[in-house]
Structure 1
Amino acid sequence: MCKQKGLRLSSMTQSAPPVLSVLPTRALVDEKFKVVVENLPPGSPVTLHSLHQSEDKDYWEAFGHYISDHRGVVSVADDLSFGGTYTGTEVMGLLWSMRPVPGSRVGVSWRKKNVCTPMLVNMSVYRGHLAEGFRDQCPLASVLIERWYLAPGVQRIDISEKGVRGTLFIPPGPGPFPGVLDMWGGGGGLVEYRSSLLASHGFASFALEYFTFGDTGKADAELSYFEAAFHILKDHPQVIPGRIGIFGICMGASVAMHMVTESATVKPLCCACVSGYHIILPGFSMRGINELFAEHSKLIRVDENHHQMWRDIVLALMKDPSKKLNMGNTSCPLLLVNGYDDQNCPTVESAEDIYQIMKATGKDHLLTRVQYPGAGHLIEPPFSPHHMATTFITDSENKMILLWGGQTKPHSDAQEDAWKKILAFLQHHLYSNITPKARI
């Protein structure tokens, strides 16, 4: 409730009220916007604030402290934030520094579930430098913006065939298009937001559901399941059969490495892995992985907040050659994206070991490593909120809070840079040298 209703703004009272503009007001989530406040008195302290209610009904916010220039203008792209959830000149700070509002649930995470609707963000400007109590204040001006994962014209197609379930996103236009098999991490289920964004950038992207299949109660998947998914994508009439890549994060990245090293039928043109590791997944099941981790549970560490860190388990497994994939079998370009502050998995150490294995077999020319100081485990598309630690549920429905790591500013910088490099990698290997014949 506004406590300032009807209150004169004293030094801010002038002929024209403050104007807040955000351009564009409707855009893809990886596009930048321009935030400007005009008609302020020169030298006025103001707070720019962003507020979003997630699909889980949690509120997320970010804010920055600014002082208007001699013209009475604040431009987020040009001016310094002197405090708040971010500081300095940060064009997209009002998004990437979002965090749960005070009093939110412990371990809350943010993830877009329905990609057919936008992420709605309310941008407001307040008088003075505020750090709390935004709901009790009247903003000088507000603008509602839309952030989309799905570009206009992208088709969303439910897939349920050959025992495989997922969602295929087809870019606008006549096609056919290069394809990407997209796999999320150990949380399982169907995660669509990255695939829809890939389709918005011109790739036919198949978001694969695995480990938890809703009403079927299925919790496991064999290598043949992922192979079938690859061929469903390859055989779709809107996909160029010889132009398929694989993209995975966390456990999805490890599944991707299994496919490129162990499968006799899957032959991708390239593979991008974010925060993955080259440990053999027992039975390709969450149950098998939980059992493997349970055998080494004494290696689980906790921080001062009792958040669990699993990286020492994978480090121990890496010491046993029989537990590692033979990365020397890799026959396609491989991109590894990792953060040095990953507290969940030793992904940087895994990448180094992969390099040594591939170098010994003369395959190191296929490997590209991108590693970021200060970045944690969950390296997501640009401007996504940073998750230091969130609640994680295993297939036995045991809840815990896992520490993912990273510091907000360097992690967010990594997300922006990594997404550009991943898109460029996929573009180079899947789109370059496409001839008219290849598109038939």
Structure 2
Amino acid sequence: MVKLTATPKSSLVDEPVKICITDLEPSHLVTVQASLTDEKGVLFQARAFYWADQNGEVDLERDAATGGDYSGVHPMGLFWFLKPEKPFARLMKRDVMNTPYVVCLDVFGHQMLLPSQEQPIASQTVERWYASPGVQRVPIRHGRIRGALFLPAGQGPFPAVIDLFGGLGGLTEFRASLLASRGFAALALAYFAYEDLPNFLGVVDLEYFEEAVKFLLKHPKICGPGIGIVATCKGAEIALAMSIFLPQIRATVCINGTNAIHGSMLCYRDICIPHIPYKLECMKLSDQGLLDIYNAFGDTRAEKYQGSILPVEKAQGKILFIVGESDRNYNSKAYALEAMERMRKYKKTHCALLSYPGAGHLIEPPGSLFCYHSWSPFFPRPLLWGGEAQAHAAAQAHSWREIQNFLQLHLNPTTSSKL
């Protein structure tokens, strides 16, 4: 009887699952399929074809898929390349504490039938969690601050991180819960379109973010003297400004952001940095009807916009830029290179760059699927994020390890402060 074994049966989404199939006929071709249904009822599936070896076995760590949704040796391919049945849907976990994603793994004999018309010859389900046992979620409504603080299991004190996302607004928690599962106290911080915060992002008030920093450093389970930031898109732009103006920021991870203030003026006390206006007329529709906003951002090299460039050389902490070279939201690699060049101009060495060919805009932890396009609440058409599936998945796996190493190095008081 054919047997499918997937271990561990329950794990965090950023951990690998080993999949083996045994007791097949030698050299038998099978279809292996993964399926999950998200919290909105949308079905996501991936399938790949594998040949059994002479012992009648398939090992996804060893064997190459010969087709399907991916090809080659990808032990986590069935998880990384899940695709939505509903067009332009994006897999994004909302309830990170109470329910896992349940992934059904099925093996089908290779017949002239679609998998949906055939009964599997072996099956197993696995649970994929966003928070490890003992992680606590604490809703935050302190002064103006709105968000959720995730605390690791144990007494602490723990290094602290603020987690920021971009132009979708609201509160996104899945990365913060994973950071807490890896030993960081992580504050998922909302800054518009959430509870009583403004519905739209007008002026960016950096004092709001300073309030969040001070709140974290006063928490009894958090160790100082500084904190870190992990941020994406518009959040990365704000994070870069925080690293410059707030001396408590010791480590900043900017994922596919910019080196200047775009769209909304940024103010901090008596300092106001003017914004580079969006060029809405430069947005265009792709041949697939997707909205491409890549050219809607002003040229940061233009003389008239130099007052909007962030003075990264004034940052006191370390900065790690992470960019996808196929990002179709921003020319994020060019922005990061401009920031690095400015650092060299001022003879500063406290920044580094990880650049990933083939990766798109949404570089997230490995449990997040590759998403080439999806709906956004602020646009009338699906938004183009960019990237190529296999390169993007590899970038997510590698960058997640590097982010954790970077934060551990610079937020742990006993370690060196060198990049």
- Is TM more than 0.5 here? yes
Q: Deviations over 1:52-99 (max 9, x none)?
A: 101121111111101111211111111121111111111000011111
Task: Please report the TM-score for the alignment, with normalisation by the length of structure 1.
Answer: 0.88
- In structure 1, give the amino acid aligned to 2:7: L
Q: Which residue of 2 aligns with 1:151?
A: 132
Scaled by the length of structure 2, the TM-score of the pair is 0.92
1:298 partnered with 2:281: yes
Matches within 5 A, 1:115-154: 115-116=96-97, 117-128=99-110, 133-154=114-135
1:31 corresponds in structure 2 to: 15
Q: Is the 8 A contact 1:119 1:148 kept in 2?
A: yes
Residue of structure 1 in register with 2:328 after alignment: 343
In structure 1, C-alpha distance between the alignment counterparts of 2:200 and 2:247, rounded to whole Å: 23
How many residue pairs end up in the alignment?
405
Q: CA-to-partner distance for each residue in 1:296-345, whole Å, 9 max, x for gaps?
A: 11222332112222222325245221222122222211000001111110
Structure 2 counterpart of 1:273: 254
Is 1:355 paired with 2:337?
Answer: no
Deviation by residue 1:32-65 (Cα, 9 ceiling, x = unmatched): 1110111111121111100010112111111110
> 1:383, CA displacement in angstroms?
4.2
| Per-residue CA distance 1:214-239 (angstroms, 9 max, x = gap) | 36664345211111111111111110
Cα distance in 2, alignment partners of residues 387 and 26 from structure 1: 24
SS at match of 1:400: coil
Tell me how far 1:376 sits from its aligned partner.
0.7
Is residue 32 of structure 2 the alignment partner of residue 51 of structure 1? no
Which of 298, 314, 321 is matched with 1:329 structurally? 314
Structure 1 partner of 2:174: 193
Q: Percent identity among equivalent residues?
A: 33
Give the CA deviation at 1:291: 10
Q: CA contact under 8 A between 2:47 and 2:69: conserved in structure 1?
A: yes
Candidates 254, 257, 264, aligned match of 2:237:
254
Does 149-158 or 206-215 show the bigger shift? 206-215
Q: Which residue identity lines up with residue 412 of structure 2 in the other structure? A: Y
Of 3, 21, 29, 2:5 maps to 21
Q: Which amino acid aligns with 1:300?
A: M
**2: distance between equivalents of 1:307 and 1:291?**
24
Distance in 1, matches of 2:392 and 2:84, equals 17
Structure 1 stretch 322-331 or stretch 410-419: which is displaced more? 322-331
Paired letter, 1:234? L
SS, match of residue 425 in structure 1: helix
Secondary structure class of the residue paired with 2:230: strand
Cα deviation, 1:417-438, whole Å, max 9, x if unaligned, reads 1111111101111125169xxx
For 2:32, give the aligned amino acid: L
What pairs up with 1:141-290 in 2 under 5 angstroms? 141-214=122-195, 218-220=199-201, 222-261=205-244, 263=245, 265-281=246-262, 282-283=264-265
Map of 1:5 onto structure 2: none
Match of 2:270 in 1: none
Residues 210, 219 of structure 1: 8 Å contact kept: no
Q: Secondary structure at the match of 1:114?
A: coil
Distance 1:155 1:406 in 2: 34
Post-superposition shift, 1:352?
A: 0.9
Q: Which moved more, 1:249-258 or 1:219-228?
A: 219-228
Whole-Å separation in 1 of the counterparts to 2:345 and 2:276: 32
- Structure 2 residue aligned with 1:9: none
**Shift, 1:354, TM fit:** 0.3
Q: For structure 1, which runs of at least 5 residues remain unmatched after alignment?
A: 1-16, 436-440
Does the Cα contact within 8 Å between 1:382 and 1:412 map onto a contact in 2? yes
Q: How far apart, in 1, do the equivalents of 2:255 and 2:47 lie? A: 29
Which has the higher Rg, Structure 1 or Structure 2? Answer: 1
- Distance in 2, matches of 1:243 and 1:28, equals 28
Q: Does the C-alpha gap of structure 1 residues 129 and 98 become closer, same or farther in structure 2, counting only changes over 3 Å?
A: farther
Q: CA separation in 2, counterparts of 1:279 and 1:401?
A: 26
Alpha carbons of structure 1 residues 68 and 230: separation in structure 2 relative to 1, 3 Å: same
Aligned to 1:376: 360
Rounded to whole Å, the distance in 1 between the matches of 2:4 and 2:108 is 11
Distance in 2 separating the partners of 1:253 and 1:133 = 44
Match for 1:187: what amino acid?
A: L
Structure 1 residues 107-118: aligned runs within 5 Å = 107-116=88-97, 117-118=99-100
Task: Tell me the SS of whatever aligns to 2:254.
Answer: strand
Could you tell me how far apart the structure 2 residues matched to 1:94 and 1:218 are? Answer: 38
